[in-house]
Amino acid sequence: MLLLVDGTPGLLLVAGLGIALLLFLIIKARLQPFVALLAVSIAVGLLAGLSVTELFGTVQRSDAVSTVESGMGGTLGHIAIIIGLGTMLGSILEISGGAEVLASRLLTLFGERRAPLAMGLTGLIFGIPVFFDVGIFVLAPLVYAAAKRSGKSVVLYCLPMLAGLSMTHAFLPPHPGPVAAAGLLHVQLGWIILMGLACGIPAVLAAWAWAAWIGKRVFVEVPQDMVEAAEESRRAVLAEQRATSTGAQEKPVALGAVLGIIGTPLVLILAATFSSIGMDPSTGRSVIEFFGNPFVALTIALLLAYYLLGIRRGWSRKSLERVSTSSLKPVGNILLVVGAGGVFGAVLKASGVAQALSDTFHGVGLPVIVLSYLISLVLRVAQGSATVAIVTTAGIVAPLLAEGHHSQAFVALVIMAVSAGSIFASHVNDGGFWMVAKYFGISERDTLKTWTVLESVLSLAGFAVALVLSLFVR
């Protein structure tokens, strides 16, 4: 090992320079986050004293394990399958019209006066299997329709929906952030679901309360140009991706099928988690754990979606294959960023930087859950990407958690704190900020007053619940 730095102060300097370089490359140089994370990982490793062989292995020994390869492979080996299956599941639910059925039933159930709550619940339920940006695309026309019928501000209807989408995106699998953190910190997804619901539901209730208050004070008309553009875009997408057999579109989507498909993997994964706690080793427990494995549970949900929303409604197998394949195209960037985050964590550990950070943070005196939230928050506000904030923070706090011998439940709460920090104060450096402003015709100033504050409320409330729960879980 070539020692370019000496002792804890030198390693801390390397860590500080690495974070500064990462922010510079993403914010100023506008470098793709995957490339930025990989470049910083290599730079930190070399400066901290790792040799080229330790970083990349050697051509003479194909069996030699390099830090870069182990970090990338160890992370994606768990995460890629879950994100891939979840993405295909969300795409089938999107294209089949499940969101419209869900929203229309909730609007009928709650009535005109409680339409904002209905939109919020639609975002919350539909957001579990669907990415945030896809959720906006699918649900925006429903927001437009509700706002036009009532004559009230579009903010009153879009913010509750956005809160539901954002909460599930930040706190629940199969979304990339919590899945990535679970993989990097070695936590069962069942605990992530359990703590995600425990922290996310109070957070989204707080966000809905804020949305109800600010929605009456900031009036924004329904953006007619976006209404027309959304309809045109939606027709084009459906014409291309919904190329099903004759008569497929005449058969309506059953609400029970949508709820069952979304709930199946959550129930199976939670059942496996609880069986590992409350049951002695037995054949029954093995069966429950098999079906509750995230890979198996999501595969079952996807096959149910294929049949209930596709084949039974007249879709051809070719159409199902086309929709599934096209849904995977945007996933590549997410997986590469998450994998590069795994490389960053592996380099920090192998070089001793992570241990130096751990020793220093112990001296600060703040609980690990508070430090995790603050680190994630600062990274989020500085560079805008929630995924980068999560994977970077996970690599930094991993040694703190490893030393403490904490339970899976506690580490899951730390992940909730990291996820909460990663959504704080969405502003002009976040693509989500501009997506909200564009889709709902909100000015930049009003987007800061509404959406940015909404995200901060979600973040603070989610972290507060995680912090309180951590007092009782060790």
- The model's pLDDT over 331-386, given as tens digits with 9 standing for 90+, comes to 888 899 989 888 888 888 888 887 787 778 777 778 999 999 999 999 999 988 89
- Whether residue 164 contacts residue 129, with contact meaning beta carbons closer than 8 Å, is answered with no
Range 199-221 average pLDDT: 96
pLDDT of residue 9: 82
pLDDT at 230: 59
Domain presence at residue 345:
yes
What's the predicted TM-score (pTM) here?
Answer: 0.89
Q: What average pLDDT score do residues 47-66 get?
A: 72
Instruction: Reply yes or no on whether the pLDDT at 243 is more than 70.
Output: no
Percent of the chain with pLDDT over 90: 49
On the question of pLDDT at 187 being above 70, the answer is yes
Give dist(CA 93, CA 443) in Å, integer.
31
Per 3-state DSSP, the chain is made up of helix, strand and coil in percentages (nearest 5) of: 80, 0, 20
- Asked if 450 and 159 touch (Cβ cutoff 8 Å), the reply is yes
pLDDT band at 181 (very low <50, low <70, confident <90, very high): very high
| Residue 143 within any structural domain of the chain | yes
Number of domains in the chain: 1
Choose the weakest-confidence range: 11-25, 164-178, 238-252, 436-450. 238-252
Instruction: Please tell me the distance from the alpha carbon of residue 168 to that of residue 264, in angstroms, as a whole number.
Output: 16
| C-alpha closest to that of 396 among 410, 409, 377 | 377
| Candidate ranges 143-152, 222-231, 418-427; pick with highest mean pLDDT | 418-427
On whether the CB atoms of residues 394 and 341 are closer than 8 A, the answer is: yes
Q: How confident is the model at residue 4 (pLDDT cuts 50, 70, 90)?
A: low
User: Above 60 in pLDDT, residue 254?
Assistant: yes
* 469 has a pLDDT exceeding 90: yes
- Min mean pLDDT across 2-6, 185-189, 288-292, 363-367 is at 2-6
Residue 83: the pLDDT is 92
CA 100 – CA 128 distance, rounded (Å): 15
Structure tokens at 243: 């190329």
User: Is there a domain that residue 116 lies in?
Assistant: yes
Hey, what are 469's tokens?
């729960």
User: 333 lies in a domain?
Assistant: yes
Looking at every residue in the chain, the average pLDDT score rounds to 87
Nearest to 46 by CA among 80, 4, 88: 4
pLDDT at 241: 47
Evaluate if residue 11 carries a pLDDT over 90: no
Q: List the structure tokens of 166.
A: 């954002």
Contact yes or no for 119/414 (Cβ under 8 A):
no
Tell me: pLDDT of 36 over 80: yes
Instruction: Tell me the residue range of the domain where 458 lies.
Output: 7-470
Indicate the residue type of 421.
G
How many residues can be counted in the chain? Answer: 474
Mean pLDDT of 184-198: 94
pLDDT of residue 232: 64
248: pLDDT confidence band, cut at 50, 70 and 90?
Answer: very low
Instruction: Please report whether residue 2 resides in a domain.
Output: no
Residue-wise pLDDT for 425-465, tens only, equals: 999 989 899 999 988 999 999 999 999 999 999 999 999 99
- The answer to whether 47 and 4 are in contact (CB under 8 A) is yes
For residue 61, which phi and psi values (nearest 5 degrees)? -125, 100
Residues 69-88 have a mean pLDDT of 88
Distance in Å from the first CA to the final CA of the chain: 37
Provide the pLDDT confidence category of residue 2 given band limits of 50, 70 and 90: very low
Question: Which phi-psi region, left, alpha or beta, contains residue 282 (left: φ > 0; alpha: ψ -120 to 50)?
Answer: beta
Per-residue confidence (pLDDT) for residue 246, from 0 to 100: 39
- Can you give the C-alpha Rg of the chain in angstroms? 23
The answer to whether residue 1 is domain-embedded is: no
Which tokens in the block code for residue 258?
């949508």
Tell me the mean pLDDT in the region 221-249: 60
Would you tell me the crossing angle of helices 386-404 and 7-27 to the nearest 10 degrees? 160
Q: Is residue 225 part of a domain?
A: yes
Please say if the pLDDT value at position 316 is more than 90: no
**What confidence score (pLDDT) does residue 371 get?**
93
Average pLDDT on 134-157 reads: 90
DSSP per position, 206-275: HHHHHHHHHTTTS-----HHHHHHHHHHHHHHHHHH----TTGGGSPPPHHHHHHHHHHHHHHHHHHHHH
Q: Does the residue 388 lie in any domain?
A: yes
Question: Residue 430 carries which DSSP code?
Answer: S
- HSE of 216, CA atoms in CB hemisphere, 13 A: 6
Greatest extent of the chain over all pairs of C-alpha atoms, in Å: 71
